Structure 1
Amino acid sequence: MEHVNEIVLVGRLSGEPEWRTLPGDDQVAVWRLIVEHRDARSPQDAIDTIRCVTYDAKLQTTVRTWTHGDVIEVRGALRHRFWRSPTGPRGLYEVEAAGATLLFRPPRKEKAVS
């Protein structure tokens, strides 16, 4: 049997995407999706906030157009990253996006002019 690592998420962007510069001046785009549970047992279990990243320059062009609250579909793979910090070994899970699409942009509220 073949091993498969495929993730599809649809969720709301929790804030503006962040940009980090890597050695060699490459960039990584980092964002978080809020994904609601359909059958949550409690309000605490109603959502997951999932970290997503892309190293792909073409996809980063798309990510630059997103704003807080946009509904995004992400397709990629789950990754477990490890590194050493001053306090010891660290790790995190994130979705490395191979593709992503803006599905819906909520209407923006107009700011009142004084």
Structure 2
Amino acid sequence: MDRNEVLLVGRLSAAVEEHPLPSGDTVTKWRIIVRRRRHRRGAALTDSIPCVTFSPEVAAVVRDLKPRDHVEVTGAFRCRVFGPPAAKIWRYEVEVSAVRPHEAETAEPDDPTDKPGGGEVAAVLIPRQVAYLAATA
């Protein structure tokens, strides 16, 4: 059975943008910063993941958040294709169906497994590495 479900917990990177569409709908766009596991060299890496919604309810919640606020979103991974036939551009984003403010964890993110009871929660929230979807040129 195929499934396309995304759960992200991270921080809002910047202010939310809204763009009216010719259909009369409004698309709301924002980015979420998600920390990766500690890199081998000791540097903490992050991913900036584009998110969009067409839902006025979801947009209202995101609009009330400030940059760097923690947020949890659920939705689906989408690939959108733009441009003329000779020069197509592919964009990947998460189409968000639900959002809620998320309380930041009080434990230090450096190594949550060395604190009592911290390892179980951290295992759920730390993303696994995913193989690249496409080769880069």
Normalising by structure 1, what TM-score?
0.82
Q: Which has the higher strand share?
A: 1
Deviates further, 84-93 or 28-37: 84-93
Which consecutive residues of structure 2, in runs of 5 or more, have no partner in the other structure? 105-137
Which consecutive residues of structure 1, in runs of 5 or more, have no partner in the other structure? 106-114
Report the secondary structure of 2:88's partner residue. strand
Alignment match, 1:51: 50
Relative contact order, higher structure (CA 8 A, sep 6+): 1
Report the secondary structure of 2:81's partner residue. strand
Alignment match, 2:72: 73
Deviation sequence 1:20-39 (CA, Å, 0-9, x none): 11112211110000000124
Report the secondary structure of 1:88's partner residue. coil
CA RMSD of aligned residues (A): 1.9
CA distance in 1 between partners of 2:13 and 2:86 (Å): 28
Alignment match, 2:10: 11
Q: Percent identity?
A: 37
Alignment match, 1:92: 91
CA distance in 2 between partners of 1:66 and 1:13 (Å): 8
Alignment match, 1:32: 31
CA distance in 2 between partners of 1:82 and 1:41 (Å): 35
Q: Which has the higher helix share?
A: 2
After superposition, the Cα gap between the structure-2 partners of 1:41 and 1:92, relative to the gap in structure 1 and judged at 3 Å, is farther
Normalising by structure 2, what TM-score?
0.69
Question: What letter matches 2:63 in structure 1?
Answer: R
